[in-house]
Amino acid sequence: MSADLDQTPRSLLVWDRSSFLDEKNRLSSQVEQLHFNYKVSVLLPECSSAPDHLDAVLNSFSSFYLIRKLPIYELLDKHFLETAVYQGSVYGMSYRTRIDEDTCVALMPNGHLSLSLDKDSFELLGVEGKPSRYNHRTNCRYVVTVDLTDSSMAPGGRGYQRLLTGLRSRLQLKTDFLLSHHPGGGDALQALLSRYNWSEHRPEVCSRTLTDLPCPALLTSDLLTSDPHSFLEWIGAVDAGVSCENSSSSFLSSLVCPEPKTTLSQALIVSICGLLLPQDLHRLIHQTRGYLEQPRLESWASLTVHGFADSPVSWGCSEHGVLRGGENFYSLLMFHDHTYHLHLAAGANDTCPP
């Protein structure tokens, strides 16, 4: 057996317990610090269909755009900077690039442009950067991060011109690119889009009704102080459609529902996939809280958000790396009394989540 498979990969997990009514809770800032989200799943126990107000927000997530073979120097276009980057929050990242092998690019809502480059590309670009945290014995990858809102990067300035020349004349980097903007949406991006082959996409919504679902019996605000990992494994198994009713002789899965457990007669799981903005996730959390305020059999709901595995950044502006899985996600367990449990997770080499 390979030595890499001989032990469970190390991971980072931060657990936070608070109340939505507590003015000092950090949930909003924590949600906003995971910029590039590709999937959110909501689990509603003893429910067969989402109520109208929750269904409306599930189907109203912001559109995003896929631009084919975008020259990265276009992100420095003066008109794009003035109408999009300076006037709101731009979310953009290279599409179907691998963080451990390819050149990856991210444009963050704070105006920071991050490029993860191999050694040859970094030397061609000719801009100051730093070695990747995920190098081993030799420096084979580098990270370049610039603040496009800084005065030194104003169009026409020395720093701006150096980066523009590197991207346009020396490196000539092109990549498929996902792009979204808040609050202007596509209007702020039209000038850039009009010059290239692009398509507009809406996040894809799908739902499943589960029956006879094994469930931890003590899902209350006092749960999870001892073993949050087992709860997260159960949530992940439910989302992935993996059975937790496994016999000791099963070689397919060793996942089990935490004890003590009960059985839900039915449950609804709704997933949304795409380039998902934190602002839309805030609205979904708010509407799910409203759902819990109604009298019903169960008093909890869960929401799990996954970041892109190959995003150049994970939490905040921290560099993201893929060793085995590229994990960066959070899971929010909400209760009818306005308390919540928040789990934030990252891979072995990433910076600890906030």
pLDDT reported for residue 249: 60
Ordered alpha helix ranges (H), 205-302: 228-240, 278-292
Out of 170, 201, 232, pick the residue that ends a domain: 201
Stretch 200-215: mean pLDDT: 94
Is the domain of 181 the same as that of 298?
no
> What domain count does the chain have?
2
Give the mean pLDDT of 233-252: 76
- Minimum mean pLDDT among 23-27, 213-217, 248-252: which range? 248-252
pLDDT higher at 100 or 312: 312
Q: ω into residue 228 within 30 of 0, thus cis?
A: no
Residue 343 lies in a domain: yes
pLDDT at site 140:
86
pLDDT(206) > 70: yes
**pLDDT at residue 221 is higher than 60:** no
pLDDT surpasses 90 at 230: no
How much is the pLDDT for 136? 66
Per-chain mean pLDDT for the chain: 88
pLDDT in tens, 128-185: 999 988 776 677 889 999 999 999 899 999 999 999 999 999 999 999 999 999 987 8
238 with 286, same domain: the answer is: yes
- 350 pLDDT more than 70: yes
Q: Which two tokens stand for residue 148?
A: 């496009």
In a shared domain, residues 105 and 183? yes
Asked whether residue 139 is domain-assigned, the answer is yes
Identify the residue with better confidence: 225 or 202.
202
What local confidence, expressed as pLDDT, does residue 1 receive? 42
How far apart CA 343 and CA 229 sit, in angstroms, is: 9
* Biggest CA pair distance of the chain: 68
Half-sphere exposure in the Cβ direction for 344 (13 Å, CA): 19
292 and 327 Cβ atoms separated by less than 8 Å: no
Between the CA of residue 218 and those of 195, 224, 259, 349, what are the distances in Å?
A: 56, 9, 9, 33
| pLDDT at 7 > cutoff 60 | no
Question: pLDDT exceeding 70 applies to what percent of the chain?
Answer: 90
Same structural domain, 122 and 224? no
- 207 and 341, same structural domain? yes
Q: What is the pLDDT of residue 346?
A: 84
90 in the same domain as 47:
no
Say yes or no to pLDDT of 258 above 90.
no
Per the domain annotation, does 352 fall within a domain?
A: no
To 10 degrees, the CA torsion angle through 261, 266, 267, 270? 150
For residue 34, give the 3-state DSSP assignment.
Answer: strand
Residues 118 and 153 in one domain: yes
Name the β-bridge partners of 15: 343
CB neighbours of 22 closer than 8 A, spacing ≥ 6? Answer: none
Same-domain check for residues 303 and 278: yes
Residue 303: count other Cβ atoms within 10 Å of its Cβ. Answer: 22
Same domain membership, residue 280 and residue 179: no
Q: Are residues 79 and 186 in the same domain?
A: yes
Q: What is the CA radius of gyration of the chain?
A: 22
Q: Please give the Cα distance from 190 to 199 (Å, whole number).
A: 12
- Residue 216 phi, psi (nearest 5): -55, 135
Final residue belonging to a domain, choices 184, 201, 218: 201
Q: Quick one: average pLDDT of 219-238?
A: 73
Structural domain contains residue 354: no
Phi, psi of 78 (to 5 degrees): -60, -45
Contacts of 231 (CB under 8 A, 6+ apart): 216, 223, 224, 258, 333
Q: Based on the domain organization, do 50 and 82 belong to the same domain?
A: no
Determine the pLDDT at residue 183: 87
Residue type, 132: S
Q: What is the pLDDT of residue 20?
A: 95
Q: Express as a percent the part of the chain with pLDDT over 90.
A: 62
The residue among 171, 201, 231 that closes a domain is 201
Residues 265-306 pLDDT 10s:
999 999 999 999 999 999 999 999 999 988 776 789 999 999
> What are the pLDDT digits (tens) for 53-80?
899 999 999 999 999 999 999 999 999 9
pTM of the complete model beyond 0.85:
yes
What single-letter DSSP state applies at residue 51?
A: -
In a shared domain, residues 216 and 300: yes
Asked whether the beta carbons of 113 and 146 are under 8 A apart, the reply is: yes
267 closest CA partner among 324, 332, 215: 215
Residue 187 belongs to domain spanning: 64-201
